[in-house]
Amino acid sequence: MASSTPPPPSEPQSFTQMDKEMLSIGGTCQFLTCDSYDFLPFRCESCHGRFCQDHRTEAGHKCAHAGEWAARLLQQQANKTPSSSISSLSQKPTLLTATQCSSPQCKTFIDTLNSVGVVCSTCNRKYCLKHRIPEDHECSKITPLGARQSSGSVKQTDRARAALGRLKIWGKEKQAAVLPKPKPSTAATRAVVLNQLKRAAKGDEKIPVEKRIYLHVEAEANTTTSKLPKGEFWYNKAWSIGRLLDDAARGLQVQNVNNRGGGEEERLRIFHVEGGRLLEFGEKAEDVLSQGNTIVLLRGVGPASSDA
């Protein structure tokens, strides 16, 4: 009969034998000079080796296939073809990539993940949820897109043309008044007037002094509604006429819907008094304007033309 007495304890050793079940968890670091055991080793996605925390990176274990994982990831991303609609919705909306609400006072981007656009069946324009109701965007005062010109619009066009005609006459008179005269005091007088304009003018303080152009700005009363009828301002002479117009409209607090579509009867334009013509949006201010000139904001006068 076998004895139940336990075997005598073996002599003490300098190591402890690990349980086989414990060895099935984790693994040995495969870095040549390490060989440490890690219960939660890391797997390199480039060489598929198993490493401890100290040697888990490609640089840490001097991976022989460094960069292969990154190359595979780039190839996978290149092979993906997400739909253009999802891509356009996911990117941050800007004036170049998104549409704004058609209400002049609203700057909300519509047709995005956060805000949908609603088309008004009366004026055929698209609005945000806040201005989707006709009463909220004063639909009765807006000419529907694609509609024939009403008698009121014709009257507005006639008023705009009449205003433009008066401005042309004023421009000719002013042009004759500012022509150089054979008087030694003429240049000095113009310098005094320009200095007075500079002292009274307002503008963006971030514009360097050497890049400023000082102008008299007015809003034509028969075609526009402004809180300030006129003023003196400075602008960056490197700006385009379109950008200068936007800043001038803000300065006189004139409603500006040029960037929201619509017909020519709602569009603002700049009339250069000394030059006697409407300026194109793409022209440079330094090319067509001079210090101390006068510009007038008009609405509904039609596009600029060579004989304007």
pLDDT score at 46: 85
Report whether 301 contacts 161 (CB < 8 A).
yes
pLDDT confidence tier of residue 87, bands split at 50, 70 and 90: low
* Per-residue pLDDT reduced to its tens digit, 147-195: 555 544 445 566 666 666 666 665 565 555 444 444 434 677 778 888 8
* Per-residue pLDDT reduced to its tens digit, 114-147: 777 888 888 888 888 888 888 888 888 887 776 5
pLDDT score at 103: 85
Letter string b/e over residues 65-87, b meaning 16 or more CB atoms within 10 A of that residue's CB: eeebbeeeeeeeeeeeeeeeeee
Q: What is the pTM of this model?
A: 0.44
Tokens for 42?
């890391």
pLDDT score at 8: 55
Q: How far is CA 98 from the centre of its chain?
A: 10
The residue-averaged pLDDT of 224-230 equals 72
DSSP 161-220: HHHHHHHHHHHHHHHHHTS--S-TTHHHHHHHHHHHHHHH-B--TTS-GGGEEEEEEEE-
* Per-residue pLDDT reduced to its tens digit, 14-37: 444 445 555 566 788 888 888 788
Residue 219 sits at the vertex; the CA angle it makes with 216 and 281, to the nearest 5 degrees, is 80
DSSP symbol at 17: P
Tokens for 218?
């007015």
Q: CA 104, CA 141: separation in Å to the nearest integer? A: 13
